[in-house]
């Protein structure tokens, strides 16, 4: 691609853009616009996250989808379209729920996270990952007439959760804990809007990502801090309001500050037994691991059968799974959920990679004196 006209801009750095990485979550009308703009700029690498498929109603608002794409994965279709639009841009489609694939490790390798979501629980999850990793977050949203762009660096300023009401947090909690309510919300579909509003909002979100990428040289500075800002515009009234966001003292997100800058690595292809032994040798004490997600364990009730299977539980709410017969001996199995492991546990011989552990997931290492360190699961691949 020829970027010569872009390079004539005094503030544009092709070198920075072409070496930059972004995670874009949400592949609807807004996500289409964001990804299209990133591609035209020559952005180096884009991770696209969405578990949905294309429907006919998407075609009037999503610039990268065509009639022949109906029924296909949104992220796979976007990846194909962007590869044709700009082969220089590396695309990694992730057809998963954001809570199952966006990890602290992935965020640490990224320059910016972009949320193009209409789901409060998913937004709160992105906010948590941004806070844990220190990665800048741009949250973009649409309503019938309004576009909203917010910029966050939760470690040093307000976060997305700072502006939520108790009712908002209660709804998010219901989505996380009640599969029926979560499925009801999903069935409601996205926010009705126009491609015009999505185009403007998506362009503004990418411009904020560019502004943050170039923050070190000051060429795009407005004189105000980049983070903790909101732009809200209304296409009905033709009004635009830019405001500064505040950080309340009682924000729950800010009460969970964790420093992962010195996190150690856990080999995702080694057994938990091997990893615990290495950590105990490194910290010179007994350790146990606490997970930030649940693990589903299926074990045989037959004393003469050693079958035990570990699988990472999807963060997307589902109906409870019923125990099934053992795949080895046919006897009944037990099903349990765990959130940690110690060397005395019966599933210590399993491996994170075999359990479907996401690359870059955060694990808390609890030492014998109750002090905590942190680790990141690596070596699995995305």
Note the pLDDT tens digit of each residue in 91-112: 999 999 999 999 999 999 999 9
Note the pLDDT tens digit of each residue in 276-316: 999 999 999 999 999 999 999 999 988 888 889 999 988 76
Q: Are residues 11 and 38 in the same domain?
A: yes
Q: Are residues 182 and 317 in the same domain?
A: no
Q: Are residues 41 and 181 in the same domain?
A: yes
Q: Measure the CA–CA gap between 272 and 142, rounded to whole angstroms.
A: 44
**Which residue from 119, 73, 114, 79 is spatially nearest to 96, judged by alpha carbons?**
73
- Residue 225: give the domain boundaries: 4-256
How far, in Å, are 25, 116, 163, 190 from residue 143 at the CA level? Answer: 18, 12, 17, 10
Q: Are residues 247 and 355 in the same domain?
A: no
Q: Are residues 269 and 150 in the same domain?
A: no
Counted domains in the chain: 2
- Number of Cβ within 10 Å of residue 141's Cβ equals 20
Q: Are residues 20 and 141 in the same domain?
A: yes
Beta strands at 90-94 and 45-49: parallel, antiparallel or unpaired = parallel
Q: For residues 312 and 292, is the Cβ–Cβ distance under 8 A?
A: no
The CATH number assigned to the domain holding 83 equals 3.40.50.720
Q: Are residues 209 and 281 in the same domain?
A: no
pLDDT of residue 63: 96
Q: Are residues 274 and 341 in the same domain?
A: yes
Q: Are residues 204 and 338 in the same domain?
A: no
Q: Are residues 24 and 103 in the same domain?
A: yes
Q: Are residues 159 and 201 in the same domain?
A: yes
DSSP string, 35-104: HHHHHHHT-SEEEEE---B--GGGTTT-TT--GGGTTSBHHHHHHHHHHHH-TTSEEEEE-S-HHHH--H
Note the pLDDT tens digit of each residue in 52-73: 999 999 999 999 999 999 999 9
């Amino acid at each position: 691609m020829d970027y010569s006209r872009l390079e004539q801009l005094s503030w544009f750095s092709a070198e920075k853009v072409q070496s930059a990485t972004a995670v874009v979550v949400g592949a609807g009308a807004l996500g289409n616009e964001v990804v299209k703009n990133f591609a035209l700029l020559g952005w180096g690498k884009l991770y696209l996250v969405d578990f949905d498929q294309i429907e006919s109603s998407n075609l009037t608002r999503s610039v990268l989808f065509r009639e022949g794409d109906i029924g296909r994965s949104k992220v796979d279709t976007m990846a194909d379209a962007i590869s044709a639009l700009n082969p220089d841009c590396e695309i990694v489609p992730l057809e998963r729920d954001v809570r199952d694939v966006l990890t602290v490790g992935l965020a640490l390798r990224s320059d910016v996270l972009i949320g193009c979501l209409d789901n409060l629980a998913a937004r709160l999850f992105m906010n948590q990952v941004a806070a844990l990793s220190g990665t800048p977050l741009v949250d973009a949203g649409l309503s019938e007439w309004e576009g909203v762009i917010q910029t966050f660096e939760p470690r040093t300023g307000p976060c997305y959760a700072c502006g939520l009401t108790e009712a908002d947090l209660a709804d998010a909690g219901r989505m996380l804990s009640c599969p029926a309510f979560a499925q009801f919300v999903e069935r409601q579909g996205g926010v009705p809007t126009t491609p015009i509003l999505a185009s403007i909002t998506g362009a503004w979100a990418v411009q904020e990502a560019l502004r943050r990428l170039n923050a070190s040289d000051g060429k795009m500075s407005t004189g105000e801090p980049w983070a903790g800002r909101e732009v809200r515009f209304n296409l009905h009234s033709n009004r635009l309001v830019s405001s500064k966001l505040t950080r309340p003292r009682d924000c729950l997100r800010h009460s969970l500050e964790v420093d992962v800058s010195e996190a150690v690595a856990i080999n995702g292809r080694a057994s938990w037994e091997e990893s615990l032994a290495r950590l105990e040798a490194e910290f010179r004490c007994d350790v146990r691991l606490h997970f930030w997600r649940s693990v589903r364990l299926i074990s045989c009730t037959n004393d003469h059968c050693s079958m035990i299977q570990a699988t990472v539980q999807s963060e997307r709410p589902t109906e409870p799974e019923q125990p099934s017969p053992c795949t080895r001996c046919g006897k009944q199995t037990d099903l349990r959920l765990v959130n940690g492991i110690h060397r005395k546990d019966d599933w210590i011989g399993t491996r994170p990679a075999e359990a479907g552990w996401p690359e870059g997931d955060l694990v808390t290492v609890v030492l014998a004196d109750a002090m905590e360190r942190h680790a990141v699961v690596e070596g699995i691949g995305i």
